[in-house]
């Protein structure tokens, strides 16, 4: 058993070596440290150069941007001057268009009945758009031209809706308004044609039994204009026949 | 007795051999000041990297701003021509 002390000694030596190697793996060597220092120093130099280059580029871009601001302002001033205006007046005009657009959008969202009740606003808007906004020379500038064109389309759409919607008419007194179906039908904003009165009669059969009798304050529905329907024509014929018969009888009685 | 002293001397020899290997077999480690120097350098490069990123972002925004202004200027010049045409009609 002579090998026994030697074996123990070898085991101890291996143990000490393995411990020293494992602790050595966690610690940095001087060479590794130097490598890291070199690596980060080079990176610092590279980044510093990059920062400086970017700083210079940013300064140049800022200057370019500032020059462009001046160029754009100058160009816009020249553009307004072409139509005898300036930036301040253009801003006011822009606000006016925006207000008209908001009004048009508000009206476009209304139901037909609500739009009918606010038909005056459509007329005001049309007058404003056509007369005031288009007459301003600033309208020649594309920014405004395009917006006014859209606004015009919206006003036309409102007009079409109003034309298609059913109108209401409140009957006035005979003494003051001379309101009868004939005279109402003759009105320019109704049918502009007295012979169309049967349309109003037929459209309001629930409240007009005798077309010669309507009452002040009655709200009459005014059907859409255009050709009279067969039903309306038949109603008119029936009325005139009845009238002719009554007149004949009156005449006969008188004779 | 002789056997025991032989064992101890073998152990002592093994310890001496392995310790000398562990101590002098590998290169030396950096000291505290050197390690701090490396840490400071790492922090400095991290700050610089952050700076680069910020500046690249700023440059990108400026590039876009300039492109927008160029487009605006180009449109303005086009508008001038159009207005002149409309005025001529």
Q: Tell me the pLDDT tens digit for each residue of A33-69.
A: 999 999 999 999 999 999 999 999 999 999 999 999 9
Each residue's pLDDT tens digit, A146-171: 999 999 999 999 988 887 776 789 99
Which residues of chain B are within 8 Å of residue A56 when distances are taken between CB atoms? Answer: none
- Who's near A131: CB < 8 A, 6+ residues apart? none
B40 touches chain A (CB under 8 A): no
A69 touches chain B (CB under 8 A): yes
Which pLDDT band holds residue A248 (cuts at 50, 70, 90)? confident
Contact assessment for residue A84 and residue A137, using Cβ atoms and an 8 Å cutoff: yes
B44 touches chain A (CB under 8 A): yes
B1 touches chain A (CB under 8 A): no
- Minimum mean pLDDT range among A29-33, A235-239, A249-253: A249-253
Compute the average pLDDT of residues A1-6. Answer: 53
- Who's near B64: CB < 8 A, 6+ residues apart? none
Distance, CA of B86 to CA of A132 (rounded, Å)? 19
β-sheet bridge partners, residue A167: A222
The Cα diameter of chain A in Å comes to 171
What number is the ipTM of this complex?
Answer: 0.70
pLDDT of residue A254: 42
Which residues of chain A are within 8 Å of residue B69 when distances are taken between CB atoms? Answer: 65, 68-69, 71-72
β-sheet bridge partners, residue A219: A170
- Who's near A98: CB < 8 A, 6+ residues apart? none
Question: What is the token pair recorded at A97?
Answer: 């268009």
Q: What is the dihedral of CA A234, A238, A244, A249, to 10 degrees?
A: 160
Contact assessment for residue A224 and residue A194, using Cβ atoms and an 8 Å cutoff: no
Distance, CA of A96 to CA of A133 (rounded, Å)? 8
Contact assessment for residue B11 and residue A12, using Cβ atoms and an 8 Å cutoff: yes
Tokens 């005001």 appear where?
A124
pTM over 0.80: no
**E strands, chain A, in order:** 167-170, 219-222
β-sheet bridge partners, residue B61: none
pLDDT of residue A116: 80
- Minimum mean pLDDT range among A184-198, A222-236, A239-253, B36-50: A239-253
- Minimum mean pLDDT range among A11-15, A20-24, A150-154, A222-226: A20-24
Share of chain B above pLDDT 70, in %: 70
């Amino acid at each position: 058993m002579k090998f026994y002390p030697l074996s123990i000694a070898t085991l101890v030596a291996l143990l000490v070596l393995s411990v020293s190697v494992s602790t050595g793996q966690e610690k940095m060597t001087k060479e590794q440290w130097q490598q890291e220092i070199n690596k980060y120093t080079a990176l610092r130099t590279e980044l510093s150069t990059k920062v400086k280059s970017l700083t210079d580029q940013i300064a140049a871009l800022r200057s370019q941007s500032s020059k462009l601001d001046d160029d754009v302002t100058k160009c816009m001033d020249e553009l307004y001057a072409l139509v005898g205006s300036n930036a301040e007046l253009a801003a006011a005009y822009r606000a006016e268009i925006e207000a008209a657009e908001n009004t048009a959008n508000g009206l476009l969202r209304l139901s037909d009945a609500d739009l009918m009740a606010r038909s005056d606003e459509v007329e005001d808007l049309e007058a404003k758009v056509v007369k005031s906004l288009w007459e301003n020379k600033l309208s020649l500038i594309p920014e405004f031209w395009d917006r006014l064109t859209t606004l015009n389309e919206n006003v036309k759409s409102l007009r079409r809706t109003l034309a298609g919607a059913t109108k209401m008419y409140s009957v006035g007194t005979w003494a003051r308004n001379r309101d009868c179906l004939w005279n109402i039908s003759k009105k320019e904003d109704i049918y502009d044609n007295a012979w169309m009165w049967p349309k109003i009669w037929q459209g309001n059969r629930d409240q007009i039994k005798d077309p010669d009798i309507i009452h002040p304050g009655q709200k009459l529905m005014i059907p859409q204009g255009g050709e009279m329907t067969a039903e309306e024509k038949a109603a008119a014929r029936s009325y005139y026949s009845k009238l002719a018969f009554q007149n004949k009888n009156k005449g006969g009685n008188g004779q | 007795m002789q056997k025991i002293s032989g064992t101890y001397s073998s152990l002592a020899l093994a310890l001496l051999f392995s310790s000398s290997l562990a101590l002098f077999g590998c290169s030396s480690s950096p000291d505290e000041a050197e390690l701090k120097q490396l840490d400071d350098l790492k922090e400095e490069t991290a700050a610089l990297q952050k700076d680069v990123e910020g500046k690249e972002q700023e440059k990108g925004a400026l590039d876009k701003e300039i492109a927008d202004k160029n487009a605006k200027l180009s449109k303005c010049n086009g508008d001038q021509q159009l207005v002149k045409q409309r005025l001529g009609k």
